[in-house]
Structures are given as structure tokens and as C-alpha cells.
Amino acid sequence: MDVVVVGAGMVGAACAYFCAEAGLDVAVVDRGAVAGGTTSGGEGNILVSDKEPGAELDLALYSVRLWTELGERFGAESLELQHKGGVVVAQTPEAAAGLAKFAARQRENGIGATDVSAAELAELEPNLTREVSGGAYYPQDMQVQPMLAAAELLRQARRRGTTVHSGTEVLGFRQSGGRIAEVETSAGPIPARWVINAAGTWGGEISALAGAPVPVLPRRGFVLVTEPLPIVVRHKVYTADYVANVASGDEGLETSVVVEGTQAGTVLIGASRERVGFDRTFSLPVVRKLAAQAIGVFPFLADVSLLRSYLGFRPYCPDHLPVIGEDPRVPGLVHACGHEGAGIGLAAGTGKLIAQVVSGTTPDLDLGPFRPDRFAEEVA
Ligand SMILES: Cc1cc2nc3c(=O)[nH]c(=O)nc-3n(C[C@H](O)[C@H](O)[C@H](O)COP(=O)(O)OP(=O)(O)OC[C@H]3O[C@@H](n4cnc5c(N)ncnc54)[C@H](O)[C@@H]3O)c2cc1C
């Protein structure tokens, strides 16, 4: 094999697809099912709106372009890709002033952000509370159905010769001549010139097995799913405090309102963030808080039933940036993990950049900010 991808989530699927497209022989290995990790435990927003200018925003813009191309190539339906745009809502004059400043900085960095008044918000989202001070509209924000998108990219990779080994656990690695040579799995060894660590929240475990640790920690989030409704929420809608929540490193519970409709008619309500390890226990207080906050933004939700809630573990790195690129400590080992709450959106760009790394071409973006050996302190 030229490339063995560890992990068949959204990021692993994108890496496999772009590597196969570049003409490489690829095998994907996952101990569970395709998209059975965090990819099945989140939402599918592809956002530029929530990112500060810098390396992550550059990757997000690059990814938005690639998602658009993938939608054109394979059909938007095959990914449930919707160019729906994002609406950020400020509920106080102070929040509105902060949002306007944030949006202005983003505009300087290539983001199409428009300031909108309370009256314009009502036009964009007729069911929104009228108790708002202002907001911003981001036409570049879009959405996919993550499990469908991962499965579709793997299907396209398979058409280009990729093999997918689900139910196969990676147990270790063998090196030869100073670089990765083989992946040891529960189904036997697989020779590999390159190994891509796309194990998401478990990327830290895989990196430790390879002798080149990176610190990836779980950051739990709950999502509520309503009964199917006619279109009542047109955009991805969230409140201005969401950006601060995403950027925070606190271990304690943080919640901000994130609401979006899906093609199935259900409305997804998030988002909570807390560092409680891999605890899968249902939490009524968290779910109650999410529901109350969402009703504050969309009052009609008070009369809507929930079908279910689910949770996932975002792959969190201490500086909130993913780990992307070859590991200088173990030649042949390439990381593509730690995308926290943005791994669906950033998957397309990550996959393409990884394919460029293993093909020996210059990556389209500078990978310096994402380099794997930047955590000397955390992994000491
Ligand atoms: C509540 C919530 C909301 C979210 N909303 C969004 C959103 O709107 N937009 C967005 O962009 N992102 C969102 N995210 C984040 C996003 O879901 C993740 O960043 C993304 O799914 C990570 O994908 P991945 O492929 O890296 O990891 P995963 O999907 O977790 O895939 C990793 C795979 O590695 C496999 N694996 C692990 N160890 C081994 C081993 N030893 N051997 C073999 N296989 C192994 C696992 O089985 C798993 O399938 C959200 C997350 C949560 C929890």
C-alpha cells in the first residue's frame, strides 16, 4: 500500500478520497463502522463565520471551495450539501457591537460578512425572536449530512481502487530503515509507505502507539433532534457567544444556541461543550439548558417535540487547531486529527493537503501552524 488511513470518519474519508484521486493505492482501516465515531455524533456545519482570522480560517475558506467542488462533482444530494448561509444573532447591544467588530476583521480576510439590523434578521429568519439587537449574515456557510458525506467520499475512493476494512483495529506499527513500514491490525499486518492518523478523538492513542504523541482530548457535546417540521429555520443560526465558547479552554460546561434545519425536516439544536472524558451518560441538566436557550431564540420551539438527543466527543487539541502534516519524529507518519468542533467542515481541505504531502507536492496552505511536534510541553 502507498497509504494506510487509520479511521473511516469524515476526515479519514476525505484523506482517502483525495489520495486515491492523486493516483495512490489506499487502504482505510477502522475498528468500528464507517462514520461510527464522532462523525456520527455531531452536526454538519461547514463554517467560516465562527473563525478568527488566522490559520484555521484559511483552512476553512480552502475547505469551503473544495466542498463546493465536491458537491458539483458528485451531486449535492449525495452529500446533502446545502449552501444555506449562516446567521449570527446578538441579543444585547454589547453583543451586537462585538459581533460587528468581529465581522469587520473577517471581511478584511476574505469573508463575506454582512451586518444586519433587527428588522433584516426578521426577514432572514421569520420565526426568530424579535428580542434581538442585530446580527451578521455569512453567505459562505454551508451544511452537509456528515455520515452521508463520509460514506460518499469513501464510495468515490473505492471506485478509484481504495479498500475499506471496517471492524479492524490498529494495534501498532512496525518501522524499518527509520520510517513507518507496516500497520499491525487485528486482521494481520498491512505494509504501508505512509500512515495517516485520522483517528479523530483517538488520534492521541494512535500517535502514542507510533511513538510520536500528540495531545487530543475529548470535548463532549449534546445535540437535540426535533420531530420533522416544514422549513422553519432557513439558515444555520447561532448566537454571538458561540464563538467565545468554541475558543474557550475551560473544562466546565459551556452552552450557546446553535440551531439548524436538515433535509429530513428535523431541527438540530446544540451546542454544549464540556471536558468530562469519554462519559456517555445522558445529562438532563445539559439537555434542558440547550432546549431553554433554543426556545429563547426561536420561541415556536416551545411547542415542538423532541425525537431524541445524542452526544459526541469533539477531538480537542489544547490550542484548538488540528494536527495536520508529517511527523518529523516518525517519518512516514502523517497526522490528520484533532479538528475539535470543525472536523466536518475542515475535512475537505485537510484531505487535499494530506494528499499533497504524501504525493510530494507543495501543499496549497502553509502547514506550519498545524505541525504535529508543536506540543512539547503537553506531551512531556
Ligand atoms: C455535538 C457536536 C457537534 C458538532 N458539530 C459540528 C459541525 O457542525 N461542523 C463540524 O465541522 N464539526 C462538528 N463537530 C465536530 C466533528 O463531528 C468532528 O470534528 C469530526 O467528526 C471528526 O472526524 P474524524 O474523522 O476526525 O473523527 P471520527 O469521526 O471520530 O473518526 C475516527 C475514527 O477512528 C477510528 N479509530 C479510533 N481508534 C482506532 C484504532 N485503534 N483502530 C482503528 N480505528 C480506530 C474510530 O472508530 C473512528 O471511526 C461536532 C462534534 C460534536 C460532538
Please tell me the number of Cα atoms within 13 Å of 364 on its side-chain side. Answer: 16
| Mutation probe of ligand 1 site: the residue of 30, 80, 205, 316 with most atoms within 8 A of C-beta | 30
Per DSSP, the residues of 114-174 read EEE-HHHHHHH-TTS-S---EEEEETT-EE--HHHHHHHHHHHHHHTT-EEETT--EEEEE
Q: Which of 9, 57, 71, 25 is nearest to 206 (CA)?
A: 9
Question: Measured in angstroms, how far is the CA atom of residue 37 from the centroid of ligand 1?
Answer: 5
11 lines ligand 1 (CB under 6 A): yes
- Euclidean distance between CA atoms 294 and 292, whole angstroms: 5
pLDDT value at residue 242: 72
pLDDT value at residue 252: 79
pLDDT value at residue 249: 64
pLDDT value at residue 246: 64
In the structure grid, which three cell numbers stand for residue 169, read together? 483495529
Please tell me the number of Cα atoms within 13 Å of 160 on its side-chain side. Answer: 19
- Counting as low any pLDDT under 50, the low residues of the chain are none
pLDDT value at residue 244: 66
pLDDT value at residue 247: 62
30 lines ligand 1 (CB under 6 A): yes
- Euclidean distance between CA atoms 179 and 177, whole angstroms: 6
In the structure grid, which three cell numbers stand for residue 313, read together? 466527543
Q: Which atom of ligand 1 is nearest to the CA of 199?
A: 34
pLDDT value at residue 31: 98
Q: What is the pLDDT of residues 7-55, one digit of tens each?
A: 999 999 999 999 999 999 999 999 999 999 999 999 999 999 999 999 9
Question: Measured in angstroms, how far is the CA atom of residue 48 from the centroid of ligand 1?
Answer: 19
